Amino acid sequence: MLKGDSLIEKGKYEEALHCYEEAVSIDPKDPGLWNKKGITLRSLGRYDEAVECFNKSLKISPRDLDAS
């Protein structure tokens, strides 16, 4: 996740997305990972996929204030 965060800061969204996808495959019950994946997808203009990720984040943690 930290690598993905670093890549986001550098504007390397495709590379960050791969990191978050790997992290989600390891821990699919972490709402923060789904949220970060959604933010990355939104940055890439992939809005429908981003919404799906945000919804997964909220399904896991309905009171997640960080869910976009």
Q: Which two tokens stand for residue 41?
A: 């997808």
Q: Is the pLDDT of residue 67 over 90?
A: no
Domains and CATH numbers, the chain: 2-60 (1.25.40.10)
Residue pLDDT, tens place only, 29-63: 999 999 999 999 999 999 999 999 999 999 998 87
For residue 34, what is the DSSP state? H
What would the pLDDT profile of 3-35 be if each residue is shown by its tens digit? 999 999 999 999 999 999 999 999 999 999 999
- Using CA atoms, how far residue 42 sits from 13, 35, 64, in Å, is 10, 10, 18
pTM of the model: 0.88
